[in-house]
Structure 1
């Protein structure tokens, strides 16, 4: 399987669909990692060495924020039906932690003109003034706004910043030594060449997401940098019940909560924080056993607890500009390779 996956990824690099990256495969308790292509592909091509850390974008939602929410629930400091306005100065009532984890709050997907936000204060003002669309309450609308609020909720209740609490609860216990919200700039694979009134230049060791950038890189929806090996450690602990959460909590987190059309008419399937394969997915036979997620920079995470299997792909596919990103069809090919392997071992 690794050979097939690497061939797909190398073909993508050759076709200039993305510069390069890392992958991690967890199978039968064994972690296999590899790197491919180029770390940088702007003024010159710099090959990957395997030591790079990548901006994992929205994988931050499930590797950090979701886990911290459930840690607070385990310790009795929070509940799924806790209302956000009980802790944060938001301009709405009636939205719960559950609503935000399942992306069914009715809140917008994003903050408009986020690339012009110059400070944390400016972002928080817009965030707290966000209003849910009641007609969309219960509909899946994938919302960065919702997870930004979850990040702030974690900080409020834990009385620690998100980066400090994540290191304490997740990264250190799982020996994820190269995972943080504050990467060494020399280790970080660059993402986009950004041009805005706020920042002009190549983003290297600085978070790609504009909203997280305004929050100094520490936010509930993005901001984590990591390696394929570290995320493989995360997956291994989870599937082997040696995780930072209890087995029962992981099972709850992984349960199907809602499947339906999103605001664009696309079928989506959500667990608590995580995404799940839909009944139309190639993984439909394994949809209840799987949790998954993607990240805007070109990352992808697949976990099948029943198979004790995990796969992670980290890339800087938005480098040097997001318009260059053509990784999607290659991720689909990799999914088919994984599915074939699972079918062989039934």
Structure 2
């Protein structure tokens, strides 16, 4: 029997509002933005922003479930979750408890003494503070007081100690200075002055410029640099140049409204008890709560305004805090020689482990040890913020990276990937460690076979889409694929994977002649990081005599396992 082909098209990426005004919102996904936005935040629904609410609702339910005991204790006590697309706040919720426990063992307070999360709960954002310090540095760069190529020692002379005279501001911002990640300033030095001196004079562990090593010491030094050059404290400088002008009234160091803050850890060493309203990081605490690497408290709404300021090229609501060229520099990868550690001037870039399906070359953000994450995707003009108090009551309770990834991917999958041809595509968005197959009926070719299809792929490199065929129904062989399109891998491929390109690929394969032939598209995921998934469209299988299978006209002939037919 001669039949017609099926098209496989990979994944959900991001909707771009750069399409023509008359075009429906749900068809904008494959035209990513390249310039800056010019909008302010406003409340709305996913539908009003052109999004599918179902993936957002599913992600929100997953976050809520992680605040409930399962089976013994929650992954984190509580969370505030926020999503923005094209300036529309499409989701903002508060879940679980801001204060839940009385000790490090997880003894719960009586219900009437627990404090529920609120949408405006103030969080210790931990290392997200590094972004604020980086913004402060870039303000000084704009002022002409500092250049990113300057040796840090030009502005902080004691930093030159122990062979660091040539280390630059850029190397601190990109974590390529050679400094080690952390030293216990709070424990081994008696006061703020000696602690700062120890951090500044510390010898590098590696040759500067030879490795990427994420280091708190880099940002502690930059915080001191801001204070030395500006002549005011880091907290005052940020209030003057960033948080004040943007109206971020809930953002700063050492909050005074303790009752609105989320509790963090019960600390026995140092003996601080249940930490709430003070910075969790011991080194920042020992420096008076104001430091370049940690100490900022904020809300989801304030962080969303900051993120939209970045998407707007440095301005928000008519107030400019940075020039567009400065923002571009902050979102440019300076670490191309250190694959997997893409980093701008302060911002981390393209980190799938918490950016999930929003990952892309320009996707920027940061996480914080207390359980916070901020993801900014310029290509789709989207923001995903997840603030949790995951260290409450103990940092030993585990990682929340799965929650971070889930939240960002929920927003990514809410964005449309319109069919390239016809009304539908095949879509695979299976869970971790699973396989989806889309199989043709048995075909009867009369010569060599050509398989052609379009694919939209957003997956981790270890989660490929393959095309396989069998001539006996038992042994499956992998076809060699060739793909064309923005971001497509070049040359012969046995599997297709990739992310961030946000483009349909045209794919084809040549198969040998066999009297009977069955073909399948297989999408396989490993234990983590699924991305947006894979879409297939316009599947066509032909031989020298013509069409064997036309997926557009005969989708009913395909056998889907883990694939669904999508119309958006």
Q: Does 1:246 align with 2:300?
A: no
**Corresponding residue SS for 1:270:** coil
**Hey, what's the Cα distance between the residues in 2 that align with 1:286 and 1:49?**
29
Q: Distance in 2 between matches of 1:116 and 1:21?
A: 34
Contact (CA 8 Å) 2:354, 2:408: kept in 1 or not?
Answer: no
CA distance in 2 between partners of 1:331 and 1:134 (Å): 31
How far did residue 284 of structure 1 move?
8.2
- Does residue 130 of structure 1 match 2:202? yes
Is 2:121 aligned against 1:49?
no
Between the aligned partners of 1:67 and 1:252, the Cα distance in structure 2 is 11
Structure 2: unaligned runs, 5 residues or longer: 1-54, 103-108, 419-501, 503-568
Aligned to 1:69: 137
**Structure 2 SS opposite 1:332:** helix
Whether the 8 Å contact between 1:12 and 1:327 is mirrored in structure 2 is: no
Q: What is residue 18 of structure 1 aligned with on the other side?
A: 76
Aligned residue number for residue 59 of structure 1: 128
Q: Deviations over 1:255-311 (max 9, x none)?
A: 11114659xxxx322111111115999868852221111110010110012211111
Matched-pair contact (CA < 8 Å) for 2:175–2:218 = yes
SS of 1:23's equivalent in the other structure is: strand
2:227 is matched with 155
Residue 88 of structure 2 corresponds to: 30
Q: Which moved more, 1:271-280 or 1:156-165?
A: 271-280
Larger Rg: 2
Q: More deviation in 169-178 or 124-133? A: 124-133
The structure with the greater share of residues assigned to strand is 2
Does the 8 Å CA contact 1:299/1:314 hold for their aligned counterparts? Answer: yes
Residue of structure 2 in register with 1:5 after alignment: 59
Q: Secondary structure at the match of 1:36?
A: strand
Query: CA 1:335–1:30 in structure 2 vs 1: closer, same or farther (change >3 Å)?
Result: closer
Q: What does 1:136-285 correspond to in 2, within 5 Å?
A: 137-184=209-256, 185-196=258-269, 198-241=270-313, 242=315, 243-259=320-336, 267-277=340-350
CA contact (8 A) 1:107 1:146 kept: yes
SS of the residue corresponding to residue 67 of structure 2 reads helix
- Supply the RMSD in Å over aligned alpha carbons: 2.2
Larger deviation, residues 183-192 vs 75-84 = 183-192
2: CA distance, partners of 1:283 / 1:271: 19
Residue by residue over 1:27-62, the C-alpha shift from the partner in whole angstroms, topping out at 9 and shown as x without a partner, is 121124221111112131432133320000000111
Q: Is the 8 A contact 1:18 1:315 kept in 2?
A: yes
Q: Distance in 2 between matches of 1:225 and 1:8?
A: 25
Distance 1:25 1:284 in 2: 14
The equivalent residue for 1:107 is 179
| Structure-2 separation of matches of 1:228 and 1:284 | 20
Cα shift readout 1:200-244 (whole Å, capped 9, x = no counterpart) = 311111101111011111000000000001111111222123251
Larger mean CA deviation between 94-103 and 307-316 belongs to 307-316
Aligned-partner Cα distance in 2 for 1:311–1:274: 15
Q: Is the 8 A contact 2:350 2:363 kept in 1?
A: yes
Structure 1 residue ranges without an equivalent (≥5): none
Q: CA distance change for structure 1 residues 314 and 281 in 2, over 3 Å: closer, same or farther?
A: closer
Deviation at 1:136, TM superposition (A): 5.7
Between stretches 118-127 and 177-186, larger displacement belongs to 118-127
- Could you state the TM-score of these two structures normalised by the residue count of structure 2? 0.57
Q: CA deviation at 1:99?
A: 0.5
CA displacement, residues 141-175 of structure 1 (integer Å, 9 cap, x when unaligned): 00100000000000000111011111111111111
2-side partners of 1:201 and 1:182: how far apart?
A: 17
C-alpha separation in 2, matches of 1:280 and 1:48: 26
User: Aligned equivalents of 1:313 and 1:336: distance in 2?
Assistant: 12
Which residue pairs with 2:399 in the alignment? 326
